[in-house]
Structure 1
Amino acid sequence: MSTAPLKTPFLIAGELPKQSIRDQVYALLRDRLHKGDISTQDRLVDHELAAQLNVSRMPVREALLQLKNEGYLEGTSRGFILPQFTPEDIADMFEVRLLLEPAAAAIACQNSKVDGLGKMTVAVENAEKAHLKADVLGYMSANWAFWVAWMDMVPNRRLAQVIYRLRDHAQVVRLATLQDTEFRELSLHHTKEILAAFVKRDTEAVKDRVAHNLRMSAASYYAKQEALMGAEAA
């Protein structure tokens, strides 16, 4: 397991005077988690990250511990890694997301704005470009931008916060499935369908398509895991 190198420039403290160094490190690592820059093979070690960022070790460790306490990382004797969820954990997450996300998407559709729809459209275009180049991380970043664009149109921020947390915890699912070209193509197709429903302001279609996309993600994840188990058994 390797230590994940930083691919995102660190924020200069003077540029964001309202944020502490710990907050900046936390925001940077959360952004990398969202974009898929941190994989299940990576290990985050506080003193190594501190050296890369040219900051002291303590704020980095505090940021990592905060991510651990929020369930985004797991602590080990040699650093922090992505959580190792059981199949039951994944099933529970999808069950809750299916209860919340489709309804939230319908509310977002009701409250949609031109700029939000524009951001969703650009994200789909970027996702398609990344898919054609087999750029998995680029696709994940664009997919995240699409999701954030419609989530920003959900007026109930407490609801949005809960959904954000659940989606963050499901990062292991995206890392496992979006590597597959066929699944990524299917994901892109469903994303386009969701966008089309938003543009038409068809709340029922938005709700149905978001739910269908979640079910497809769950099915693809389980199929991937079964295939891996079969390969190991062979």
Structure 2
Amino acid sequence: MTSSHLDKGVLAKPVQRPAPLRDSVYETLLELITRRRLPPGRHLVENELAEQLGVSRQPVREALQRLSNEGWVDLRPGYGAFVHQPSESEADQLLAVRSLLETEAARLAAGATPPEGIERLWALWRAGVEGLERGDTDTMVDSNAALHHCIVESAGNKVLEGLAGQVAQRVRWYHGLVVQRRGRESWEEHEAIIEAIEAGDQERAAALMREHTEATRVAYHEQVAEGAAEDDFGAGAADEGETAGTAGRAAGI
């Protein structure tokens, strides 16, 4: 009689199960945050999110805890969860690290990218330019992220790829703020980087990537400064309006 017992190691891979609901909720919320559909400072109310996502509050609570652990969400006792509002210093440090990693990646990629990798870069570049011409911000952000990932992947350094991957998702969040500001200039810089990689010019590829990532960092700070100035102007205008209204009431108008 044949035994039904399975020798150890016969089933080398466990049966795949659907992803836990908390993971699906996490991915959905992270996507909304990185695309700024849920902007910095937004109050994330558990029951509202649960209702909109069609789930119970438990997976939402677990997803928010994970997002908090990763720095995407701030949990404030007594107040609830809020989308993290990064400081300028925090942004500067992240974008500086990104520049270091991707500059080295571009240098390595210039000596290692095969023809099919070059064609992939050009395809992503064309998609980004088409998105620019349509005014499609999501396409530009996605194409930019994919193009930079392709360069990092082409570098052939798994440690570098892992570190850059950890930084990339947060950079996507910042890039969403400056994508329109950088516009065509950014894609012209991408074009020059791809040309240097295709030519195998490591030093030029590295120099161009350094300039490109630095331009993004500067654009972010300029965007934040302009936003702060607009807020100050708006507050000032409100103060003036309140003062005028008070004076009018005092005058019996």
Q: Sort the TM-score into its range (normalised by shorter chain).
A: 0.7 to 0.9
Name the counterpart of 1:20: 20
Structure 1, 35-44 or 111-120: larger mean CA deviation:
35-44
Distance 1:31 1:146, change over 3 A: farther
Equivalent position SS for 1:79: strand
Q: CA deviation at 1:221?
A: 1.6
Q: Do structure 1's residue 169 and structure 2's residue 153 form an aligned pair?
A: no
Q: CA deviation at 1:121?
A: 1.8
Distance 2:19 2:200 in 1: 38
RMSD between superposed Cα atoms in Å: 2.7
Q: CA deviation at 1:35?
A: 4.9
**What code does the residue aligned with 2:121 have?**
M
Name the counterpart of 2:222: 223
Name the counterpart of 2:200: 201
Distance 1:109 1:95 in 2: 22
**What code does the residue aligned with 1:177 have?**
V
Distance 2:165 2:213 in 1: 14
Distance 1:35 1:115 in 2: 30
Q: CA deviation at 1:128?
A: 0.8
Name the counterpart of 1:128: 129
Distance 2:200 2:125 in 1: 17
Percent identity among equivalent residues? 22
Which of structure 1's runs of 4+ aligned residues deviate more than 6 A? none
Distance 1:43 1:155 in 2: 41
| TM-score (normalizing by structure 1) | 0.77
Name the counterpart of 2:7: none
Name the counterpart of 1:87: 88
Distance 1:192 1:74, change over 3 A: farther
Structure 2: stretches of 5+ with no match in the other structure: 1-15, 234-253
Q: Do structure 1's residue 39 and structure 2's residue 28 form an aligned pair?
A: no
Distance 1:232 1:45, change over 3 A: closer
Deviations 1:40-98 (A, max 9, x none): 375544444433443333233323322221123333534331x3222222222232223
Name the counterpart of 1:69: 69
The 8 Å contact of residues 35 and 141 in structure 1, kept in 2 or not, is answered as: no
Deviations 1:11-61 (A, max 9, x none): xxxxx7363333333344444555555433755444444334433332333
Structure 1, 30-39 or 220-229: larger mean CA deviation:
30-39
- Looking at CA atoms only, which structure, 1 or 2, has the larger radius of gyration? 2
**What code does the residue aligned with 1:174 have?**
H
Name the counterpart of 2:103: 102
Name the counterpart of 2:60: 60
Equivalent position SS for 1:179: helix
The 8 Å contact of residues 40 and 172 in structure 1, kept in 2 or not, is answered as: no
Equivalent position SS for 2:180: coil
Distance 2:97 2:188 in 1: 24
| TM-score (normalizing by structure 2) | 0.72
Structure 1, 202-211 or 150-159: larger mean CA deviation:
150-159
The 8 Å contact of residues 36 and 141 in structure 1, kept in 2 or not, is answered as: no
* Paired positions, count: 216
Deviations 1:162-220 (A, max 9, x none): 2222233334532331233xx21111111122222222232222211111111101111
Distance 1:108 1:37 in 2: 34
Distance 1:151 1:33 in 2: 24
